């Protein structure tokens, strides 16, 4: 009944002080999707707004990406409306009559907050909203008063849970609810109507962070699902799924087509023995250790290759511990392809190895799945699920933030390189690797032969150069023909010389491309270095913050602006750095200029903030306001730049075949690159 | 250090019922080290030659494969200048149920069926593919030169 979209037109007041949204109350029209069952504790429900959320961001928060709960629209918007209702307060200006006063059972809102669907309501459209609201309803009235309600004076002092239960709204007052909300909204903020668009910014992508435990649970769910369909035990299903690289549909299809072949190929060949278990067999000699003791435990999987339990254990331990194998451990029997299943491993190995085995399994699981990748940060154990496919990388830069707060690109697992697409980044990095220092040196020490353009280093004192390649003779000073120097062998103290100036022109041209590269490279490298230096300062920031706390009597929360500033600096420099690589490959046109303007604005903002950041601690106190302004300005500039760039990049999608070069791209408003990035 | 039962049994069996054309004798002061000779299989370029190898059973044996190396120079696409052998059962396809005996038989089989498509010695493999007769002639030459006492 609640599946799909619940179309609702609500206009709601909100006045949560959010750093990333204007502090004026918003009136919003939203299409609310049916929310997932809520399980969060009331104290967490959106009342401490997340610093990283964008107001229009619908799905996930960069700070807690693993939870779908840091979702301001769902949490924030409905809060107020319920509050007045649920707290038993009269609506601001209700003109509509109440039809019924049937009390709502307290248990129904309980069920909503614990994730169980509420009992069916009469009207579909509102019950969805109600559920939503109840989910978002915080239980501590004091918190409510302090945050959500400060704009609505009449609520203060009325916040009690008794009121909430007694005067709670009835289940079939749906119409009023909607219209009530409109009335509320219209009461005072007509002029501030603002539409909050659902959806995310152009440069953001959907993703989710998973902990190893979550991945494991997810994997097991998947295994159990398929296990039921195929009627195979879970441990065998796991092997089948791994063989099919976790493509459930493909596995089921091929399994139905040719069960035996699939089993054989996956390493679950025909059974020639009973289920795996320990057994004592009279007169058994282990083929591995040649032991023949009486009463020795032996083990075999369904393939029937029986060895003594000790050898089996040792074999598995060797595979798991030393070789890091898990998903592809084969039966120790010669030529047997049967994969050792997890149940057998559980029977045979010690606890610590079981953990390792499971870890390895999860590792292969993530490696096998295209939409999962491990966070590349050292010692980080989270994985990120992102739906961006490799072929989309030309038009999307899927930057994700792990729970460990490492920003990285899901496409190439390098550090965050917005706004430049992965291919451009790869190309640029390769060029830098090959070129940068060499290019500097070349620029400083060599000239090109005026005739064949080979790069020449002067190795003797004489200015009479002979190009080794084309045998062209020229003067190192004026680059002119040596012949023109004639008998008066040194006359290039005279400035104007025809052939010389032509040669110099040619040289200038070829140098130009080098200079151009160096221009961008130097800025790129500078931001990289500055970011490093800023990071050093960031490490000192903590000290500064304690200093500030003791010297100015500011509280801990009051000095957090320094951390905010530092993070903004890091992030903006990272972006700036890549804008230079991006700009290097851009073809010159109007769009480039807009891009450069945006770049300039961001750069200026960053430099201002960076300068301020270096001031001694005692001055920082007075600069707090200024600094916060500059921080948010920086962030804003960055968002603008990224958004504009990302949107353009997306435009290229429809012209992917001739990505980056054609005129069609420019007509469509997509970026034009001066090189073929697909190469 | 006591020798595992498995190694003792294997050694005993190698001595008691040797494989025709193959001998493996453990070193006096290290029973994990074997001096091995393999006769070149008939109808192969190595026919008539006796090739010396060394074989070592590492600590983890039989969980890890034995280490085997040719001591006699041999012209073979899957055996390099240092005598190292490219053979699946010595690497990924090793199973603890395999034995010295079976490994040596595999090596003998490799002499009878060189596989230039999966080479270790690239130059030899290339020659083998381009001009098999010439390569076989060289192999015969080398056998006569290095592998006959």
Domain ranges in chain B are 5-147
DSSP label of B52: E
User: Would the pLDDT of A622 be above 60?
Assistant: yes
Average pLDDT over residues A438-454: 75
User: Would the pLDDT of B34 be above 90?
Assistant: yes
Q: What is the pLDDT of residue B141?
A: 92
Q: State whether residue B64 sits within 8 Å of chain A by CB.
A: yes
The terminus-to-terminus CA distance of chain A in angstroms comes to 51
User: Helices A560-584 and A590-613: crossing angle, nearest 10°?
Assistant: 150
- Which pLDDT band, with edges at 50, 70 and 90, does B107 fall under? very high
DSSP label of A300: E
Average pLDDT over residues B110-135: 86
pLDDT, one tens digit per residue, over A310-352 is 889 989 998 898 888 888 888 998 888 889 988 889 888 888 8
Least confident of A142-146, A484-488, A667-671, B50-54: A142-146
Q: What is the pLDDT of residue B32?
A: 93
pLDDT, one tens digit per residue, over A515-547 is 888 888 888 888 888 888 877 877 777 777 777
The radius of gyration of chain A's CA atoms, rounded to the nearest angstrom, is 34
Tokens representing A304 are 């029937």
In a domain, residue A396? The reply is yes
Alpha helices by DSSP H, listed for B71-131, are: 100-112, 122-130
Please give the Cα distance from B77 to B70 (Å, whole number). 13
If asked whether residues A323 and A393 sit together in one domain, one would say no
If asked whether residues A412 and A363 sit together in one domain, one would say no
The set of residues, in sequence order, having a beta carbon less than 8 Å from that of A430 and lying 6+ positions away, is none
- Which pLDDT band, with edges at 50, 70 and 90, does A371 fall under? confident
Average pLDDT over residues A202-228: 89
In a domain, residue A436? The reply is no
Nearest CB to B6; choose among A289, A315, A335: A289
In a domain, residue A132? The reply is no
CB pairs under 8 A between A and B: 37
CB contact under 8 A, A288 and B6: yes
Q: What is the pLDDT of residue A58?
A: 40
Residue of B nearest to A285 (CA): B6
Question: Where a domain ends, among A383, A402, A431?
Answer: A431
Residue A82: helix, strand or coil by DSSP? helix
Nearest CB to A289; choose among B5, B60, B64: B5
Query: ipTM, 2 decimals?
Result: 0.83
CB contact under 8 A, B63 and A315: yes
Question: Where a domain ends, among A353, A368, A383?
Answer: A368
The CA angle A619-A605-A629, to the nearest 5 degrees, is 55
The number of angstroms, rounded, from the C-alpha of A185 to the middle of its chain's C-alpha atoms is 36
Q: Quick one: what percent of chain A has pLDDT higher than 70?
A: 62
Beta strands in A458-578 (DSSP E): 464-466, 473-475
- Give the dihedral of Cα atoms B70, B72, B75, B77; nearest 10 deg: 0
Q: What is the pLDDT of residue B143?
A: 93
β-sheet bridge partners, residue A297: A280
Nearest-CA distance from A274 to chain B in Å?
21
Instruction: Show residues of chain B in contact with A318, CB under 8 Å.
Output: 60, 63-64
Tokens representing A221 are 């769910």
Nearest-CA distance from B75 to chain A in Å?
29
In a domain, residue A352? The reply is yes
Q: State whether residue B62 sits within 8 Å of chain A by CB.
A: yes
User: Would the pLDDT of A679 be above 80?
Assistant: no
Average pLDDT over residues B107-122: 86
Domain that holds residue A240: 214-368
pLDDT, one tens digit per residue, over A113-137 is 443 444 444 343 444 444 444 444 3
CB contact under 8 A, B62 and A288: yes
Looking at residue A656, which CATH number applies to its domain? 1.20.120.1750
pLDDT, one tens digit per residue, over A73-99 is 333 333 333 444 444 445 444 344 444
The radius of gyration of chain B's CA atoms, rounded to the nearest angstrom, is 16
Tokens representing A19 are 């750093």
CB contact under 8 A, A336 and B95: yes
If asked whether residues A338 and A411 sit together in one domain, one would say no
Q: What is the pLDDT of residue A156?
A: 39
Instruction: Show residues of chain B in contact with A315, CB under 8 Å.
Output: 63, 96
If asked whether residues A397 and A357 sit together in one domain, one would say no
CB contact under 8 A, A318 and B4: no
Residue of B nearest to A317 (CA): B63
Least confident of A204-208, A228-232, A621-625: A621-625
If asked whether residues A327 and A384 sit together in one domain, one would say no
How deeply is A34 buried, as exposed, middle or buried, from its count of CB atoms within 10 A (0-12, 13-18, 19+)?
Answer: middle
For chain A, the maximum distance between any two Cα atoms, rounded to a whole number of angstroms, is 115
- Which pLDDT band, with edges at 50, 70 and 90, does A656 fall under? very low
The answer to whether the bond into B62 is cis (omega within 30° of 0) is yes
User: Would the pLDDT of A234 be above 50?
Assistant: yes
Long-range contacts of B3-10 (CB under 8 A, 24+ apart): B3/B31, B3/B32, B4/A289, B4/B61, B5/A289, B5/A290, B5/A291, B6/A288, B6/A289, B6/A290, B6/B61, B6/B62, B7/B31, B7/B32, B7/B57, B7/B61, B8/A290, B9/A290, B10/A290, B10/B99, B10/B100, B10/B101
If asked whether residues A242 and A359 sit together in one domain, one would say yes
Among the listed residues A556, A552, A569, A571, the one whose alpha carbon sits nearest the alpha carbon of residue A616: A552
Q: What is the pLDDT of residue A266?
A: 86
Q: What is the DSSP string of A217-269?
A: HHHHHHHHHHHHHHT--HHHHHHHHHHTTT-HHHHHHHHHH-HHHHHHHHT--
Catalytic residues of A: 462
If asked whether residues A645 and A628 sit together in one domain, one would say yes
Tokens representing A366 are 């993530």
Total structural domains within chain A: 3
How deeply is A318 buried, as exposed, middle or buried, from its count of CB atoms within 10 A (0-12, 13-18, 19+)?
Answer: middle
pLDDT, one tens digit per residue, over A40-64 is 444 333 343 444 443 333 444 444 4
Average pLDDT over residues A643-654: 77
For residues A673 and A634, the model is more confident at A634
Instruction: Show residues of chain B in contact with A298, CB under 8 Å.
Output: none
Q: What is the pLDDT of residue A551?
A: 75
Q: Pairing between strand A399-401 and A407-409?
A: antiparallel
If asked whether residues A252 and A274 sit together in one domain, one would say yes
Among the listed residues A318, A381, A327, A312, the one whose alpha carbon sits nearest the alpha carbon of residue A358: A327
Q: What is the pLDDT of residue B52?
A: 94
Average pLDDT over residues A385-407: 87
Alpha helices by DSSP H, listed for A117-192, are: 124-136, 141-147, 161-166, 174-188
Q: What is the pLDDT of residue A491?
A: 56
Residue of A nearest to B99 (CA): A288
Please give the Cα distance from A111 to A181 (Å, whole number). 24
In a domain, residue A493? The reply is no
Looking at chain A from residue 315 to 374, which residues have their Cβ under 8 Å from any Cβ of chain B? 315, 318, 330, 332-336
Average pLDDT over residues B68-81: 92
For residues B72 and A496, the model is more confident at B72
In a domain, residue A567? The reply is yes
User: Would the pLDDT of A30 be above 80?
Assistant: no
CB contact under 8 A, A335 and B10: no
Residue of A nearest to B102 (CA): A334
User: CATH class for domain B5-147?
Assistant: alpha beta
CB contact under 8 A, A289 and B102: no
If asked whether residues A252 and A391 sit together in one domain, one would say no
Mean pLDDT score of chain A: 70
If asked whether residues A363 and A377 sit together in one domain, one would say no
- Inter-residue contact A315 to A330 (CB < 8 Å): no
């Amino acid at each position: 009944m609640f599946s799909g979209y619940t179309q609702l037109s609500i206009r709601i007041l909100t006045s949560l002080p959010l750093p990333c949204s204007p502090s004026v109350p918003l009136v919003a029209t939203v299409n609310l999707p049916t929310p997932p069952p809520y399980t969060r504790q009331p104290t967490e429900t959106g009342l401490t707004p997340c610093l990283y959320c964008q107001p229009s961001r619908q799905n996930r928060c960069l700070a807690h990406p693993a939870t779908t709960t840091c979702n301001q629209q769902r949490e924030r918007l409905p809060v107020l409306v319920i509050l007045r209702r649920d707290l038993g307060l009269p609506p601001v200006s209700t003109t509509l009559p109440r039809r019924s006063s049937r009390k709502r059972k307290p248990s129904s809102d309980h069920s909503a907050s614990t994730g169980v669907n509420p009992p069916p309501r009469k009207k579909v459209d509102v019950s969805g909203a109600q559920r939503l609201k109840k989910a978002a309803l915080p239980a501590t009235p004091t918190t409510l008063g302090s945050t959500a309600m400060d704009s609505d004076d009449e609520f203060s002092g009325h916040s009690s849970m008794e009121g909430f239960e007694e005067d709670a709204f009835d289940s079939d007052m749906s119409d009023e609810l909607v219209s009530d909300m409109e009335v509320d909204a219209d009461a005072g903020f007509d002029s501030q109507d603002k539409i909050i668009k659902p959806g995310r910014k152009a440069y953001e992508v959907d993703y989710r962070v998973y902990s190893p435990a979550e991945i494991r649970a997810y994997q097991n769910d998947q295994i159990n699902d398929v296990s039921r369909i195929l009627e195979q035990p879970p441990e065998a299903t796991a092997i089948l799924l791994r063989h099919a690289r976790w493509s459930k549909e493909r596995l089921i299809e091929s399994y139905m087509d040719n069960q035996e072949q699939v089993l054989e190929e996956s390493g679950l060949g025909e059974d020639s023995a009973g289920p795996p278990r320990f057994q004592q067999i009279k007169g058994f000699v282990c083929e591995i250790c040649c032991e023949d003791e009486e009463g020795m435990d032996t083990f075999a999987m369904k393939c029937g290759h029986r060895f003594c339990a000790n050898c089996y254990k040792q074999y598995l331990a060797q595979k798991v511990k030393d070789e890091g194998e898990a998903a592809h451990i084969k039966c120790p029997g010669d030529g047997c392809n049967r994969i050792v299943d997890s149940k057998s491993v559980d029977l045979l190995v010690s606890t610590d190895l079981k953990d390792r085995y499971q870890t390895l399994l999860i590792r292969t699981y993530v490696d096998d799945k295209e939409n999962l990748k491990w966070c590349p940060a050292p010692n980080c154990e989270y994985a990120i699920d992102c739906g961006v496919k490799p072929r989309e990388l030309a038009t999307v830069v899927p930057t994700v933030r792990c729970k460990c707060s490492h920003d990285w690109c899901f496409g190439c697992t390098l550090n965050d390189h917005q706004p430049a697409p992965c291919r451009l980044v790869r190309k640029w990095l390769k060029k830098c690797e090959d070129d940068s220092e060499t290019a500097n040196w070349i620029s400083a020490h060599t000239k090109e032969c005026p005739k064949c353009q080979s790069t020449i280093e002067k190795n003797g004192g004489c200015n009479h150069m002979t190009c080794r390649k084309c045998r062209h003779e020229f003067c190192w000073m004026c680059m002119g023909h040596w012949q023109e120097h004639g008998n008066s062998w040194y006359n290039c103290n005279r400035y104007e010389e025809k052939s010389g100036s032509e040669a110099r022109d040619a040289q200038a041209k070829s140098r130009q491309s080098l200079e151009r590269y160096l221009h961008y490279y130097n800025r790129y490298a500078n931001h990289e270095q500055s970011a490093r230096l800023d990071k050093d300062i960031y490490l000192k920031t903590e000290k500064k913050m304690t200093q500030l706390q003791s010297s100015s009597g500011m509280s801990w929360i009051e000095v957090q602006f320094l951390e905010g500033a530092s993070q903004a600096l890091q992030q903006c420099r990272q972006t700036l750095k890549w804008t230079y690589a991006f700009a290097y490959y851009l073809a010159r046109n109007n769009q480039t200029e807009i891009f450069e303007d945006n770049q300039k604005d961001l750069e200026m903002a960053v430099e201002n903030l960076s300068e301020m950041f270096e001031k001694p601690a005692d001055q920082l106190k007075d600069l707090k306001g200024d600094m916060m302004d500059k921080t948010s300005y920086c962030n804003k500039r960055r968002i603008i730049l990224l958004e504009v760039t990302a949107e353009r990049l997306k435009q290229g999608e429809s012209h992917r075949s001739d990505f980056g070069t054609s005129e069609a791209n420019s007509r469509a408003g997509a970026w034009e690159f001066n090189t073929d990035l697909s190469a | 250090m006591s020798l595992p039962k498995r190694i003792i049994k294997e050694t005993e069996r190698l001595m008691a019922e040797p494989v025709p054309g193959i001998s493996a004798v453990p070193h006096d002061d290290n029973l994990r080290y074997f001096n091995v000779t393999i006769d070149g299989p008939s109808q192969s370029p190595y026919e008539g030659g006796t090739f010396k190898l060394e074989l070592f059973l590492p600590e983890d044996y039989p969980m890890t494969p034995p280490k085997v190396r040719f001591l006699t120079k041999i012209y073979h696409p899957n055996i390099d200048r240092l005598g190292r052998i490219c053979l699946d059962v010595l690497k990924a396809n090793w199973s603890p149920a395999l034995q010295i005996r079976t490994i040596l038989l595999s090596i003998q089989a490799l002499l009878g069926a060189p596989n230039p498509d999966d080479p270790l010695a690239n130059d030899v493999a290339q020659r083998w593919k381009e001009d098999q007769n010439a390569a076989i002639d060289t192999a015969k030459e080398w056998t006569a030169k290095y592998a006959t006492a």
